[in-house]
Structure 1
Amino acid sequence: MALAGLAPGVLERLGSELAAEALMELQYRFPLTATPYCDVADRLGVSVERLLAVLRELREKRILKRVGFYFNYRAARKRGALIAIETSRPNEATRLLLEMLEDVTHSYLRDHPVYNLWVVGKHRDPERIVEAARRAAELYGTGRWLVLWGEKTLRLSVKYDLERGVSRAGPMSKVALRPPRPEDLGYTTALARALRVLPLEPHPYAVIARQFNMSEDEVVAAMKEMLDKGILGDPGAALDGHRLGFIFNGMVTIAPRNMDQLEDLCSWVVDNIEEATHVVKRSATPPGSWRHLCYFMIHAVDEERVKPVLERLSGCPYMDDYMVIKSLEDLLPGVIR
């Protein structure tokens, strides 16, 4: 795809227009074929060897985190939550949560006036999440904590529009609420997890196939079935936005006019805010401790590009008020999510 132009600073970080074109293709038009890199190279008019060399360089720069699929944690029968803690020792609190929970995928310092550490964690036992939050807050903070449960993820697609300089969700952003387990379809969870990161090779599925004593066609068929059933999602390139120059990272939390309108509110965001990379309907523990239970994320090269997006919220008939909680520091940079 020919790009009209790039947001400020992006070309300097990427090194070439080819890199930008490749990342846009791999984010927004990822081929669901046995040879996705060959197909993208054909579209761009370059050899697959040249494309893969560019992608490997971007991986070395840690701009390209992976090419592959999101693995829906619900397919592993886990519960996910956003944990908020007031702490002066965020690194120690994060380490404790890493020890106590099965998966910790995000840990950010953010500018909320009370809760400065925000961590996404998962575990099969919800009580373990609550206990982890309580212990981290008591050992390394003031004792103040929240657990905001992910009751329903209406969108998950962290992609960056390199022309506009603001995030924009990809075409396959829906998240299944109750996906089957891979084993229910005759596959293994190990195979589903392996598909999160496709090798940078002309035949990436063939490389994975050798690990599981399968054929390339069998792995491609498994990928498509697990994608169709919601075990996998959001195919394509996953990028480190900050290294690309997307330095604004905002968590927008919205309170509904009435709690019975919460899902309508979240659905309105999905329909009207394409720049939202996550849209999640939440509930709170302790009960009643947090009103802003519709959540979305937005990323941009500067705050000015976010203002028109937030202005759209004024047209939402289900909103009472909202907060933008800005990220200050990523405590787990480079984590595969």
Structure 2
Amino acid sequence: MFDDREKALLMALQYNFPLSEEPYIGISEFTGLDLDYVLRKTKEFLEKGIIKRIGAQLNYKAFRDIGYAVLVGAKADRVDEVAAIINSFKPKHNYLRDCEEYNIWFTIKSRDIDALRAKVEEIVKAAGIADYVFLPSKRVYKMDVKYDLLRGISYSEAGLERMDVPKVEELGVDPELLRALEREFPVQNRPFKVYERFGYGEGELISLIEEMIDERVIRGFYAVLKERKIGFRENGMNLIRTEKPKKVALKLVREFPEITHLVERVPDEKWNYPLYFMVHAVSRSSIEEIKSKAAEMPGVEEIRTLYSIRDLNPNYRY
């Protein structure tokens, strides 16, 4: 799928993106690839959708208007019709999964739990969904999406997520600047110069980004790849039934760097699984291996994996 140079570039853009005034020169020096090649191929990967975005990976908990998130599992027969209605409400994710009880799973955000519940009620009414589960986030333990092209599985050694993430407004930072860093980071020499319109010089802005990473307002600064376009065709959402979700979650973070998302949720009375973690891989066997090891951990009563059949919102980037 990719030659050695392309793999080296995609890995560096994920794992070794430098915060400097000339980051693409840094990528060139790190990989030994010519700068013109780095710029040309990076633009090409973005145009083809292999790279979804490059830039700041924002922590939604730092934003007042989208500080809360909920995962919803819904039962629907008219999948494409229902998915189109759900997508009109701009969900973060929307997948068809191999689950008999609830086959459509989507995530949506809003300012608080009451607004979330009202929005979900509006969605299910518009889509004609009669049976669903409402699973609001209680705590995020890990959120770091990187794909190791050499191992063939998602992989990152990000530490435990902070619980007390400050709000952007409390820090006196323009939220539009942070969103621009997430959505508009250009592929060119001296890319930080384009943000001078926000009143920051290059060095000042880089220092601010580093500060926001320390505060966990920004989780990291790197390229996010589109998994199915890099051969990662398996996406497993693993549900854990346990009476000790915190203890199990902390052990999962320590022992499984392959996990991209690990979230504790408020269970629904019809769906008593408090822990959810994601693993992406080239082959399903790699995910099954992680599942088998996790199932042996003390405190895990049951683990169940819902595999993605189809991305119902394939154009989502942020």
Number of positions where the alignment pairs a residue of Structure 1 with one of Structure 2: 315
1:224 paired residue among 190, 210, 218? 210
1:79 paired residue among 68, 85, 90? 68
Is 1:111 matched up with 2:98?
Answer: yes
Is 1:245 matched up with 2:231?
Answer: yes
- Determine the C-alpha separation between the residues in 2 that align with 1:140 and 1:183: 35
- Determine the C-alpha separation between the residues in 2 that align with 1:136 and 1:184: 32
Partner of 2:246: 263
1:156-175 alignment to 2 at 5 Å?
Answer: 156-169=143-156, 171-172=157-158, 174-175=160-161
1:283 paired residue among 255, 266, 270? 266
Amino acid at match of 1:268: K
- Determine the C-alpha separation between the residues in 2 that align with 1:117 and 1:150: 18
Amino acid at match of 2:216: G
1:153 CA displacement = 0.8
- Determine the C-alpha separation between the residues in 1 that align with 2:238 and 2:216: 26
Give the SS at the match of 2:301: strand
- Determine the C-alpha separation between the residues in 2 that align with 1:124 and 1:231: 16
Give the SS at the match of 1:143: coil
Is 1:326 matched up with 2:307?
Answer: yes
2:53 paired residue among 37, 41, 66? 66
Is 1:146 matched up with 2:129?
Answer: no
Retained in 2: the 8 A contact 1:97–1:132?
no
Inter-CA distance 126–110: structure 2 relative to 1 (3 Å threshold): same
1:173 CA displacement = 5.4
Inter-CA distance 106–141: structure 2 relative to 1 (3 Å threshold): same
Uncovered stretches (5+) of structure 2, i.e. residues with no partner = none
Inter-CA distance 44–323: structure 2 relative to 1 (3 Å threshold): same
Is 1:306 matched up with 2:292?
Answer: no
Partner of 1:4: none
1:99 CA displacement = 4.8
Instruction: Give a deviation string over 1:250-309, Cα, whole Å, max 9, x none.
Output: 1001011x2xx111111111111111110001103xx42321111001111111222222
- Farther-moved stretch of structure 1 (124-133 vs 261-270): 124-133
Instruction: Give a deviation string over 1:41-81, Cα, whole Å, max 9, x none.
Output: 01122332221111111112210111112111111122111
Uncovered stretches (5+) of structure 1, i.e. residues with no partner = 1-11
Inter-CA distance 251–280: structure 2 relative to 1 (3 Å threshold): same
1:205 CA displacement = 1.4
1:18-57 alignment to 2 at 5 Å?
Answer: 18-57=5-44
1:87-126 alignment to 2 at 5 Å?
Answer: 87-100=76-89, 104-126=91-113
- Determine the C-alpha separation between the residues in 1 that align with 2:213 and 2:166: 11
1:128 CA displacement = 2.9
- Farther-moved stretch of structure 1 (247-256 vs 19-28): 19-28
- Determine the C-alpha separation between the residues in 1 that align with 2:13 and 2:164: 27
Question: What is the TM-score when the length of structure 1 is the normalising length?
Answer: 0.87
Give the SS at the match of 2:206: helix
Partner of 1:128: 115
Give the SS at the match of 1:87: coil
Is 1:195 matched up with 2:178?
Answer: no
Aligned-pair identity (%): 29
Question: What is the TM-score when the length of structure 2 is the normalising length?
Answer: 0.92
1:91 CA displacement = 4.2
Retained in 2: the 8 A contact 1:48–1:202?
no
Amino acid at match of 1:325: L
Inter-CA distance 195–240: structure 2 relative to 1 (3 Å threshold): same
- Determine the C-alpha separation between the residues in 2 that align with 1:179 and 1:26: 26
Instruction: Give a deviation string over 1:2-39, Cα, whole Å, max 9, x none.
Output: xxxxxxxxxx2x3x321110111121222232322111
